[in-house]
Each structure stands twice: as C-alpha cells, then as structure tokens.
Amino acid sequence: MARAPFELAGTRIPPGSRAQIDVPVAKLYTHAPLHIPVEVVHGRQPGPVLLVCGAIHGDEINGVEIVRRMLRLASLSRLRGTLIAVPIVNVFGFVQQTRYLPDRRDLNRCFPGSEVGSLGSRVASLFREQIVDLATHIVDLHTGAIHRTNLPQVRAQMKERPATQAMAEAFGVPVILNAELREGSLREYAQSRDVPVLTYEAGEALRFDEWAIAPGVRGVQRVMRLLGMLPADRRRHAPAVAEVANGSSWARSPIDGILRPRARLGARVARGDILGRVADPFGNAEQEVLANADGIVIGMSNLPLANEGEALFHVARFDEIEEAENAVETFHSDFETRQEL
C-alpha cells in the first residue's frame, strides 16, 4: 500500500516530496498577516516525524542558519520518515530582534497555551496544534541570551527517558546538562506527552557563531541517523564523546563595575580560581570573580559591564572532570580540523 501524504495546516505533501508552508499565526497592528514559515520533507519510506525548530526566542538566530543548512542536505532525498523544519517559531520576536513577544511574554514559558488566552498563549497553542503535535521527536535550537554565549551543549532529561538520552548522546557535543524542565517550555510540554525532546544551546543571541552552527547541523544529522531517518555515515569519524554534568551554577559579580574576563568558554576551572576581575572605571575597588566549584565554563557574559549579582560565568560540574575536559578538547580540535578541510 502506498504511503499516505503528510498533512500540515491543510497542505498535503505526497511521499517523496517537500513543501514550504506559511502557517498563519496572527496579524500585526497594521493588519498585515504574519506566518510561521515551515518546510516539510516527506520521505518515500515510513519513519519518525522529527520537528527541528529555531528562534522560539526571537533573537536566538544560530538555529535559523542550522535549519537552512539542514534543508540543503543532499541526503534528504533518501529520508525515511518526515522532517518538519521550522527556522523561526517566534516570528514577532525575530522581526523585532528580541527574545520576547510584543506583549513581553517569553513564548517558551507559554506552553501548552490556549486559543482564548493572551498573545503568547495563543501563539503557543497554534504552534502546538498545527505543528508540534504531529512530531514523534523534537530538537529545539537555542543560543545564550543577549550578551551571553554558550559552549555547545545539549539539555535533556537524562533519567528514565532512554529515547531522549540516546538522542542527547548521539548529538555529539561535549556537554549534556540534565537540566530541569522549565514550566511552560516546549521541552516540558513534549516530555509530558512522552515525545523525546532535546534542546541544543550554543553561541550567542543575535550572532552567527560558526562553532555553534556547524556542530548543530552535524548534531541534528547524527540524531536523524540514530532514528534511522538518514543512511549511516560510511566515512570513518571518531565517535563523538559527551559528558553529562551533574549540576551547574553561575559565578556572579561581587560588585557593580567593569568586567575583565580571564576564563574562556570551555576552560576547566577549579573552585577558587579567578574567572575575571571587576573594577570601577578608574580601576579602584577591584574585586575578583571566583569559581564556586570545580568544573567547565559552559556559558559566560560577553558584556563587560556588570551589576553586583550579575551572572557572569556558568560552570558545570562533573563526576569525571578529566573526561569532560577531554570531551571539550576533542570537540574543539575536531571543529578546527573540519575548518581546515
């Protein structure tokens, strides 16, 4: 029996074909309609339905480029299953270059949403009903917030969720955070329906960081191979290693002032190490920002201006710190080798 077409927002996509669909989401004040752009690739052969989405936070644009490159992969002609690619979920925020919606809500705190709620709640509800609920697996693409950058990392529930765990490990970036589910996030909603889901966090908002984009494209492909959606890679690559952090915390600014960072993203640090120094504009009253744990710097502020208590360095803790350090080093050298090729 022939495989059925895939249907999204009223469009039917026959097997072995692809389609771009503009899903109407709302109108601007001007009455101009606004759409969530979606591309569906419906394979000839049956398989999982993977949703890959970016910019649920409108200024986190590395994911937009990851999706664009994904859609150009020649291997998609041999896709098994269905890929739903959504480069920009929060179209309002993307246009305004902001994380939020026009009502200042965070779309990733609005799930599952409601048809009769506020704008955020309605957008979440529409995205969920028209798109998310069709997926059997989800990869949600993020970056650090504005002026903050993240070492490529995956956030996923790593306990009692073997399918999620396998996806997180397959993604192949050095650090996995067994991060708690944020209330109202897409990840929480998907996990509540037993849909395996991971969040990829890499780079900075409003930037294109190649070291975050290239591993993201490879990560999604690795997940698709794991799920049997793409043919196995016959080229011989060293298996990617990832270490699961057992917790993380932020080192904060001890005073108001100007930051001179010392630690770099990906650095291994020991409790008490100096991560940076904060002083007033004259260089008086200087204080050190100290690591509050042994670990790896997985996120940091790129803005040298800090108020007291400002989160400056995100340090992840590991049971096997040596292995985590090696995973980061292997990841960096692998990226550099590929750049030279």
- Residues at the interface with Zn ion (CB under 5 A): 57, 60, 142
Q: Which is nearer to Zn ion, 98 or 221 (CB)?
A: 98
Q: Which is nearer to Zn ion, 57 or 314 (CB)?
A: 57
Q: Which is nearer to Zn ion, 60 or 169 (CB)?
A: 60
Residue 83 near residue 18 (C-beta atoms within 8 A):
no
Q: Which of 299, 301, 294 is nearest to 253 (CA)?
A: 301
* Nearest distance, CB of residue 106 and Zn ion, angstroms: 9
Q: Which is nearer to Zn ion, 60 or 209 (CB)?
A: 60
Tokens of 101: 């919606």
The single-letter DSSP state of residue 76 is G
Q: Which is nearer to Zn ion, 93 or 266 (CB)?
A: 93
* Nearest distance, CB of residue 89 and Zn ion, angstroms: 11
The single-letter DSSP state of residue 4 is P
Cβ atoms < 10 Å from Cβ of 91: 20
Residue with the shortest CB distance to Zn ion: 142
Strands (E), the chain: 6-8, 11-13, 17-27, 33-42, 45-54, 80-86, 137-142, 148-155, 175-177, 197-204, 243-245, 247-252, 257-261, 268-269, 274-279, 287-290, 295-301, 305-306, 311-317
Q: Which is nearer to Zn ion, 57 or 222 (CB)?
A: 57
Residue 40 near residue 10 (C-beta atoms within 8 A):
no
* 94 dihedral zone (left: phi>0; alpha: psi -120 to 50; beta): alpha
Q: Which is nearer to Zn ion, 42 or 57 (CB)?
A: 57
Tokens of 52: 């890959």
Side chain identity at 220, as an amino acid letter? V
Q: What phi and psi, each to the nearest 5 degrees, are found at residue 153?
A: -150, 155
Q: Which of 129, 85, 122, 87 is nearest to 102 (CA)?
A: 122
Q: Which is nearer to Zn ion, 18 or 187 (CB)?
A: 187
CA atoms within 13 A on the CB side of 8: 32
* Nearest distance, CB of residue 185 and Zn ion, angstroms: 9
